[in-house]
Amino acid sequence: MLTQRKLAQDFIRGETEGRASHMFINNDTIYSYGRHFPIAVRIEDFEFVYNTEKYSMTTTRHQSIVATAIGNNIMWQAPDCIIDNIPNFITDEILFLHTKILRARSNNKILSLLIYHEYWKKAKTRFNLEDKELDNLCLFKNKDEIVAKVVKYRMLNK
pLDDT of residue 158: 59
* pTM over 0.85, yes/no: no
* Residues of the chain above pLDDT 90, percent: 42
- Angle at which helices 57-70 and 4-12 cross, to 10°: 40
pLDDT of 150 strictly over 80: no
Whole-angstrom Cα distance, residue 158 to residue 131?
A: 17
Report how far residue 15's alpha carbon sits from residue 124's, in angstroms, rounded to the nearest whole number.
28
Give pLDDT tens digits for 20-64.
Answer: 999 999 999 999 999 999 999 999 888 999 999 999 999 999 999
